[in-house]
């Protein structure tokens, strides 16, 4: 046993639990923890410009690699409240991050001390656990519980609030006697697997819906093998995109109201059986339950018991970690295939492949200002199969999901349920901090980019290079498109005559993103014409490698482009002409504006 401050014990625990990076903003109430971090020098710290940004960096860090847990640090007052959006988005997408806040002294709690707020109560609805630690010796034990909770069952974030006098108090602690607690994850039994496969065997047109739980479980290889053994096509959700390569013969496309493929929706409408694994039946995937479930039977496998039946009651629900489920399902399916007990679905799989070949949207446009579809077409050419895309919300994200290609798990890092504007930039920095070698391309509309644009300075200061594609139409594009239902275009335009851009060939586009990026210590390239694409992508990559800073690649778009979407999966409005084949799903609506 050794005598030390509670914060020194805390840093030893963080090390033993595998924490290598922290993102945060120091302040008076958390400075004791910072002094312990400095004394040890084992955990890299990235200084954010905004604490919400730090929380999203922690999310990006976690999402980048299996086993990662991002750490966000700040004071409990305004810094803690700034973290709430990060906690919400992490909780919504089952992402473990640890937020540590510094609190006023215990004697000053509930006395309106400077920047003192009950952050644990505020964070409780969006965290697996949120606690103010009132006894010094409980600091390492609270952290032990935090890591256990974050890793067990449905993963999620935790907030630990530390009063400054608790941080400074001395305790007896022996790190050699400390061991992380084994995570609890429920597992499908053989009997459950046999029941599920018996139901699958009765289907004529089955699909596997692969959710983000498969990626969380690092089980994408098991999914692909299970799909290949059974021959059942796969529909990944947006959070599960990359769990099977886009060009795999059994990848049948994504389904949904916005981030979907025409062929994915058409295939879902034709199916008679859906095997959901690690998914949550999100409304933008399903649309209304009546349309989505009509004529189908469902199995739902999820790690969280209360997730099963939350949206609709499946015909069979099984509580299991996605990886554990896929392992036993694969074992039984392989045995049944060898014994001739598993039926084949090759004809159905060929139907799905045919839709995938013919039901495509057009991307090749020559217009100036640019159409966004062309930008994504060129991105597919410029960036390789190993590229990791990071994005959050808006027409930029929706079109990205419709037109880009993803081939590996964790190569589509997307804030799914919460979708806060501004998330993309700091999350991309967190991904880069987690992996110094991968190709990273962030994707933002101009409004998402402007929300937390100050974090560009973090990338420059800490040498966190990546390419940030900004599609600029000087609009809140998704909200403008939504306002069509109200016959209005109100308070969604970002356009104005910037007096500092006199003579600019794009008058009225407002903010000069290139100038802002360069003022922050980054590099930037602007693209206006189709013939500039190839050179701009090469130049962005050259600048990133040479200077080791973020590079902003801005594309000047036409002001208004409506992106395909609808209110139901059988009522998707296609605003542009279609590619290769104009043959629609039986119930799809085509409306060319």
Q: Catalytic residues, which ones?
A: 25, 51, 421, 476, 479
Q: Which candidate, 141, 199, 192, places its Cα nearest to that of 302? A: 192
Cα separation values, 256 from 286, 292, 564, Å: 6, 10, 11
3-state secondary structure at position 32: helix
Handedness of CA 491, 413, 398, 275 (dihedral sign): negative
**Phi-psi label, residue 547: left if phi above 0, alpha if psi -120 to 50, beta otherwise:** alpha
Question: How many Å apart are CA 149 and CA 352, to the nearest integer?
Answer: 41
Q: Which candidate, 192, 195, 239, places its Cα nearest to that of 213? A: 239
Question: How many Å apart are CA 277 and CA 273, to the nearest integer?
Answer: 13
Q: Which candidate, 121, 55, 48, 50, places its Cα nearest to that of 90? A: 55
Residue whose entry in the numeric block shows the structure tokens 């999820």: 302
3-state secondary structure at position 498: coil
Alpha carbons within 13 A on the beta-carbon side of 128: 24
Question: How many Å apart are CA 348 and CA 487, to the nearest integer?
Answer: 43
Counted residue by residue, the chain has a size of: 593
Locate 10 and state its tokens: 């805390």
Question: How many Å apart are CA 554 and CA 202, to the nearest integer?
Answer: 51
């Amino acid at each position: 046993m050794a005598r030390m401050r509670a914060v020194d014990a805390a840093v030893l625990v963080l090390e033993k639990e595998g924490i290598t990076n922290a993102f945060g903003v120091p302040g008076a109430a958390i400075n004791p923890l910072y002094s312990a971090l400095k004394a040890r020098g084992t955990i890299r710290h990235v200084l954010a410009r905004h604490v919400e940004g730090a929380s999203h960096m922690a999310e990006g860090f976690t999402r980048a690699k299996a086993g990662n847990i991002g750490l966000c640090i700040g004071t409990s007052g305004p810094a803690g409240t700034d973290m709430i959006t990060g906690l919400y988005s992490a909780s919504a997408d089952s992402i473990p991050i640890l937020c540590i806040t510094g609190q006023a002294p215990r004697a000053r709690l509930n006395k309106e001390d400077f920047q003192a707020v009950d952050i644990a109560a505020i964070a409780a609805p969006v965290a697996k656990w949120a606690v103010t630690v009132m006894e010094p010796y409980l600091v390492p034990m609270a952290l032990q519980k935090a890591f256990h909770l974050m890793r067990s069952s449905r993963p999620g974030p935790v907030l630990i609030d530390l009063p400054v006098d608790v941080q400074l108090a001395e305790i007896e602690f022996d790190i050699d006697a400390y061991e992380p607690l084994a995570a609890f994850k429920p597992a499908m039994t053989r009997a459950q697997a046999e029941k599920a496969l018996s139901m699958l065997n009765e289907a004529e047109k089955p699909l596997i819906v692969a959710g983000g739980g498969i990626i969380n479980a690092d089980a994408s290889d098991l999914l692909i093998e299970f799909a290949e053994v059974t021959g059942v096509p796969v529909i990944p959700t947006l959070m599960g995109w990359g769990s099977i390569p886009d060009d795999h013969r059994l990848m049948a496309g994504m389904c949904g109201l916005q981030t979907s493929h025409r062929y994915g929706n058409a295939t879902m409408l034709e199916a008679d059986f859906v095997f959901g694994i690690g998914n949550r039946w999100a409304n933008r995937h399903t649309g209304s339950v009546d349309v989505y479930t009509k004529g189908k039977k469902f199995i739902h496998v999820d790690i969280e018991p209360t997730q099963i039946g939350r949206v609709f009651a499946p015909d069979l629900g099984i509580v299991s970690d996605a990886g554990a489920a896929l392992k036993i399902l694969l074992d039984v399916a392989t045995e049944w295939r060898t014994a001739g007990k598993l039926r084949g679905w090759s004809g159905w799989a060929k139907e799905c492949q045919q839709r995938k070949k013919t039901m495509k949207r057009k991307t090749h446009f020559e217009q100036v200002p640019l159409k966004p579809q062309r930008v994504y077409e060129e991105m597919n050419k410029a960036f390789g199969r190993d590229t990791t895309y990071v994005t959050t919300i808006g027409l930029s994200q929706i079109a990205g999901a419709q037109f880009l290609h993803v081939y590996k798990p964790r190569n589509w890092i997307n804030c799914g349920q919460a979708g806060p504007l501004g998330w993309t930039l700091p999350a991309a920095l967190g991904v880069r901090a987690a992996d110094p070698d991968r190709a990273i391309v962030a994707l933002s509309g101009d409004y998402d980019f402007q929300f937390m644009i100050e974090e560009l300075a973090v990338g420059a200061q800490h040498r966190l290079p990546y390419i940030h594609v900004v599609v600029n139409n000087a609009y809140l594009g998704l909200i403008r498109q939504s306002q069509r239902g109200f016959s209005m275009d109100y308070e969604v335009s970002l356009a104005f005559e910037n007096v500092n851009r006199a003579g600019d060939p794009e008058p009225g586009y407002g903010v000069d993103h290139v100038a802002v990026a360069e003022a922050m210590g980054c590099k930037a390239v602007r693209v206006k014409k189709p013939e500039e694409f190839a050179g701009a992508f090469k130049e962005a990559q050259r600048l990133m490698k040479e200077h080791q800073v973020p590079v902003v690649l801005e594309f000047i778009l036409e002001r208004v482009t409506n992106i395909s979407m609808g209110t139901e999966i059988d009522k998707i409005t296609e605003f542009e002409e279609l590619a290769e084949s104009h043959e629609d799903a039986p119930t799809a609506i085509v409306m060319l504006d």
